[in-house]
Structure 1
Amino acid sequence: MRVQANRGQIARALRRGLAAFGAPAPLTLRQWAERHFYLSAESSYVEQHWQAWPFQRAILSCIGNDDVQEVDILKSARVGYTKILLAAIGFFAQHKQRNQALWQPTDSDRDEFVKTELDPMLRDVAVMHPIFPARLSRHKDNTLLIKKFLGGVLHLRGGKSAGNYRRISIGVAYLDEFSSFDPDIDGEGDPGTLAAKRLEGATFPKMVIGSTPKEKGTCLMEKRAESAQARYEYHIACPHCGGHHALTWGGKDETHGFKWVGRDADSVRHLCPHCSVLITQAEYLAAAESGFWYGSDGSTIDQDGVFRDRDGVIMAAHEHIAFHVWTAYSPAVQWSEIVQAFLDAYEKAEKGDGAELKTFWNTTLGRTWEGAVEKIELDELKRRAEIEAFALPGRGENVVPMDCLLLLTGLDTQDNRIEACTWGFGRGSQMWTVDHQIFFGNPEEDKVWKDVAQYLFESRFVHEGGQQMAIYASAIDSGGHHTNAVYEFARKNKARRVFAVRGRPFGEKSINDGGSMVDIDWRGRRVKKGVVLWHVGTNLAKDLLHSRLKIEREGAGYIHLAGDLSDEWFRQFSGEVRATRKTATGSRTIWTAMRKRVEALDCTVYALWLEARLNLQRKTDAWWQALADKLGAELVQHDEPPDEPAPTKQEPKQPAPAKAGVSVSTPARRATRRAASSSYLRGRR
């Protein structure tokens, strides 16, 4: 008996030792999940063996297909996406033995995912036990940051820091709740691009990105899905006419989608777009078993992940695909629940509380929300540009218009240039685009600052009244890598009304949001007297700009845009939207850049800060008339804004007229300067 027991122990030891040299029978991810995956009690309504729903099967098959390199999933809640993600992690760790990394929007999101989803899966899916010996112990191979398997590793990271995308080489990358990531990570790019860099060199690179969507125009997930080779929706065959169609929300006047009677949520049916017959949820569930995914290019994907072209012929798989799926497809949710949730949210929205309706749109319909986004429309800006705005009749040269009485310049610093936008201001907060300049050079060097000084202090612009105008005040952005250089320039030119400013992205109380003294450390030398750093309420300034751009009639508050501004200027000026973003102190609605370059907008914000700092909205008619008299201007009387503040008695101090030998900004002079310094505005970088 003892000999037989020893033989049994030896046989088991040999099997364990030789197992590493064996090749497992090939399985697809769908087959692996249906054979091995288990629903844990901590993260499921019912603890049990998992069976994929019909619409989930092709998603699983495509994630496991080495020919499909990028899978995007634009989804609602309650469609089982997290289970798909966990199954993929287990499959690539146990069956494919590949290195993986998963990013969540924040470190805390990562910690919660590991504790409530990943660790229970590793505990309850028995096939993971042999490859993860450290699962039951506190071990360096089993932490919130890393899970080391036999044959592979899973890195777990938060997505806030660019450092979390470095120093790892992987074959599979996951980004969960992609819409909640910052659009630009530490100035190094979007999170999808940073994660993709970690896949370079992989034999079979795989990226899986999923999320519920957010605001229209700012949603990272929507943008990514739009770049896919094809976008797929799950189609069923109508039990009445046989025509295939997706489940849609539709609308009151649409000839498809959900329909119900009054406020009776139980009466909901789905209207077929082909035969206009209403089907029940039970009929949908029966038809879903033979459904398929239908693509924007006419191709299809069956539940085994086989791609076919529009003629039904098997084709090569697309490398980048996107799926859209929403709650109505889930067998675990009653259609009547969806309708009732909408009715409740809609009732609150009619009373002014639109939060629940937005949540319904994102998390139930899996669609971006359009109602919460404010933006400056590019096409509308171009339409209202005044082609002849600054042409003086009979003289044919560019001039500052009659009502424009004060010139203020906002400047933005970049690593290889300084950009300046000069705006004209008049009574009643009218504004005019007067000039835009770029001064190329390193802001740490003196030469570029000499060019800036010459422009700010010596340039003269011809006014329609016949006189010449100088720039009255300027505000320079001190953020970025050249803070001390800006401080030094502002300190030296304080008497010429040069201000060092920095944007306050949230929590501001006003556009002119106070100032503080800062020390100067210029090239290693300490200066006893510092300079004032002025804080700009950037969101409030952009709100003000947005509201003024809504004014259609010339007069108080109207913004005049010159017709000779380039397309790039307009793209920069309209390059941000106001949308909800996660910050260190919670979710806030802030203006968010949707493109890398928005210098024209930033410079305008600093000019608006100057308007607030100089208190222009409170100046009296007498103050403005004094400026007009010095310029020979004849002011046109416009209606004042209804909330015009009480006037002050401060008298204007107009800059001195041009002296002999000082440059004057004539059309030829301005055109020459633009050609030399602003060629990128016409597309030549």
Structure 2
Amino acid sequence: MREPMRAFSDPKVRKVVIVAASQVGKTEVELNALGYVMDQDPGTVIFVHPTLDDAKKFSRLRIAPMLRDCPRLKRKVHDVRDSKASKTVLQKSFPGGMLMLTGSNAPSALASTPARYIFGDERDRWAKSAGKEGDPWALAEARQTTFYNAKSVEVSTPTIKGASNIETAYAGGTQERWVVECPHCGEWHDIDFDYIRFEPWSETVNGKKVWHIKGGVDWCCPSCGCLSSEQEVRDAPHKWRADNPSAYEEKGIRSFWLNAFASPWVPWERIVIRFLEAKDDPQKLQVVYNTLLGKLWEDRGDLASDDELLARREDYGTRPDGTEVELPDGVLCLTCGVDTQDNRLEYEVVGHGQWGETWGIEKGVIMGRPDTDEVWQRLDGVVEHVYRYRDGGGIRISMTCVDSGGHYTQEVYERCRARQGSRIFAIKGKGGEGIPYTSIPTKVAIRDKRATCWLYTIGVDAGKSSIMSSLKVQEHGPNFAHFPRGKGYDENYFNGLLSERMVLTTGSTGNRWRWEKIPGHERNEPLDCRNYAMAALKILNPDMDALFRARTETKTDNTAHPAPRRRRNGRKTRSVDW
């Protein structure tokens, strides 16, 4: 913790971010920095906690003992006298400055007093909005505008991946990790739980499982694979290593990430036992991940049941001529995902709106071997079809991704090459953590290598996580997934869409999350089709704002002048097709 404290007194640093497991000293850094301000470099301090009750508790249990036991601070710091007793707890004065403690849910304190210093404790537990005035951290930082030498400290244990404020703050800084030099090869690595090795065994005592570790806990070096004991690692040299050092010079932000394996008060065996006791309970496991392993937790709990999603289906409405509306007004772009089987093609057409909102448009099956012309001609009919809004305007599918795995890889390459003009591309799914959802396409040879085809590699695990997250959204709007009644969205579809889940596996190569099928959900084609359709949007990367403006203008025009129905001779109408 010496380096974060040095960073606070560095004139070039404007912000210090600490992401750390519980009880490794991050609160002591805050207290020491606060004492430094009071004694050496005074100014007004706003110290923000998740709630006012947390602020009062922190004042009584942490700040009061520090002021009592440090003679220099005891002589300088005084309570702010007020008729209300709480003021003496939440406000303290010292020569040249004042300390104000408040909660993230108290907008009056965050938006009224100019302050040179901002301290934020347990940032990920803060309220999303201070009353009706917006992000509490943004409100607090706005108080520093007039100070050229302002400083802030943002501290928290990590919480949910993708919803963690401290994760975002850390990414904006130097991104420093506490690393150790391997006693065997001399390479530097942080102590990550994925490389901790142990041999567990359990016994049942009074009906309860009790875990034990046989032979101690070791660390496996990612570079050389050699095992080092806990004591060997503690005795080895350590240092902070920055992954983004330019943030120091360019933005004056230093960020640090630390887990409990660095704590001198927590034996590694205790961490491992806590993990084993919690591994079968997602809620308990999240606590271990956040407070001991210092990791962000991905919410991989159970999704809604098949029946719940089936009951969530909607009616998209009817057009003036009595036909069903194919496209709700929020749809701005269409993509299609195609899964290849030995005797059929399964596809799903997905509509996309602003901010990740999606609509299922059509789920279908084209029976026949994928090496026959008839099957692909029927797929052409799906891709070239103009899907209609209520007002008569229409759009076609912008991009289609076709799975090239299975027994018909070369046939898929040939058919996709012939349909590149319709933006039908072959894709190959690749599982595993850390694989990006989409990447730059490569050219692959077809049969005798006289021709080539573009092939996209899709990180299917990343796509599945995104899909499952969207299914948990309960309110219409950003990231919500809509499904229509009929059009292929039946019990079998939702059974396949929810056919897989993430499970944690512990093995000789480390601890890994992987997708596995849920018993009773044997067919996963609907999940694959949705995954490929979402990947197509990612590859296409359309300008949704521009599409929204174009759709709004078209809708207004069609309202003023209703579009005529398509004539039997196939002549063009004034419907907008793109």
- When normalised by structure 1's length, the TM-score is 0.46
AA at the equivalent of 1:295: A
CA contact (8 A) 2:17 2:173 kept: no
CA contact (8 A) 1:361 1:369 kept: yes
Shift of 1:187: 3.9
Shift of 1:161: 2.9
Cα offsets for 1:651-677 (capped at 9, x unmatched): xxxxxxxxxxxxxxxx99982428999
Closer, same or farther: CA 638–331 of 1 in aligned 2, 3 Å: closer
Matching residue of 1:205: 150
SS of the residue aligned with 1:201? coil
Shift of 1:231: 0.6
CA contact (8 A) 1:179 1:219 kept: yes
Shift of 1:230: 2.3
SS of the residue aligned with 1:143? helix
Closer, same or farther: CA 430–280 of 1 in aligned 2, 3 Å: closer
Matching residue of 2:323: 464
Shift of 1:239: 2.0
CA contact (8 A) 1:111 1:144 kept: yes
Alignment of structure 1 residues 132-171 onto 2, 5 Å? 132-134=77-79, 143-171=88-116
Closer, same or farther: CA 246–592 of 1 in aligned 2, 3 Å: farther
Matching residue of 1:277: 226
AA at the equivalent of 1:87: N
Matching residue of 2:563: none
Distance, in Å, in 1 between the alignment partners of 2:18 and 2:316 is 44
Matching residue of 1:365: 293
Q: Does 1:261 align with 2:212?
A: no
Task: Pick one of 262, 272, 275 that aligns with 1:339.
Answer: 272
Matching residue of 2:54: 109
Distance, in Å, in 2 between the alignment partners of 1:182 and 1:592 is 20
Distance, in Å, in 2 between the alignment partners of 1:238 and 1:71 is 28
Shift of 1:98: 1.7
Shift of 1:333: 0.9
Closer, same or farther: CA 549–153 of 1 in aligned 2, 3 Å: same
Shift of 1:463: 3.5
Provide structure 1 residue ranges, at least 5 long, that are not aligned to the other structure.
Answer: 1-55, 251-256, 301-306, 308-315, 377-426, 436-459, 472-545, 568-573, 580-589, 612-616, 618-634, 644-666, 678-685
Cα offsets for 1:121-146 (capped at 9, x unmatched): 11111220221255999998971220
Task: Pick one of 105, 119, 128 that aligns with 2:64.
Answer: 119
Shift of 1:192: 1.8
Distance, in Å, in 2 between the alignment partners of 1:110 and 1:219 is 21
AA at the equivalent of 2:193: W
Closer, same or farther: CA 209–550 of 1 in aligned 2, 3 Å: farther
Cα offsets for 1:15-57 (capped at 9, x unmatched): xxxxxxxxxxxxxxxxxxxxxxxxxxxxxxxxxxxxxxxxx11
- When normalised by structure 2's length, the TM-score is 0.54
AA at the equivalent of 1:153: M
Shift of 1:275: 2.0
SS of the residue aligned with 1:213? coil
CA contact (8 A) 2:7 2:13 kept: yes
AA at the equivalent of 1:123: R
Matching residue of 2:159: 214
Shift of 1:299: 7.2
Task: Calculate percent identity across the aligned residue pairs.
Answer: 23
Alignment length (residue pairs): 368
SS of the residue aligned with 1:111? helix
Matching residue of 2:253: 320
Distance, in Å, in 2 between the alignment partners of 1:167 and 1:296 is 37
AA at the equivalent of 2:184: H
Shift of 1:461: 3.6
CA contact (8 A) 1:176 1:210 kept: yes
CA contact (8 A) 1:576 1:592 kept: no
Shift of 1:198: 0.9
Cα offsets for 1:454-497 (capped at 9, x unmatched): xxxxxx644338xx99x9xxxxxxxxxxxxxxxxxxxxxxxxxx
Distance, in Å, in 2 between the alignment partners of 1:285 and 1:58 is 18
Shift of 1:93: 1.0
Closer, same or farther: CA 137–673 of 1 in aligned 2, 3 Å: closer
Matching residue of 1:5: none
Closer, same or farther: CA 104–676 of 1 in aligned 2, 3 Å: farther
Structure number with greater Rg is: 1
Shift of 1:284: 2.0
AA at the equivalent of 1:291: H
Matching residue of 2:439: none
SS of the residue aligned with 2:193? coil
AA at the equivalent of 1:358: Q
CA contact (8 A) 2:282 2:301 kept: no
Provide structure 2 residue ranges, at least 5 long, that are not aligned to the other structure.
Answer: 202-211, 305-309, 329-355, 366-386, 399-465, 495-549, 561-578
Shift of 1:238: 1.6
SS of the residue aligned with 1:362? helix
Distance, in Å, in 1 between the alignment partners of 2:131 and 2:80 is 34
Q: Does 1:236 align with 2:180?
A: yes
Distance, in Å, in 2 between the alignment partners of 1:61 and 1:294 is 15
AA at the equivalent of 1:108: D
Shift of 1:171: 1.0
Cα offsets for 1:103-136 (capped at 9, x unmatched): 0011111111111111111111122022125599
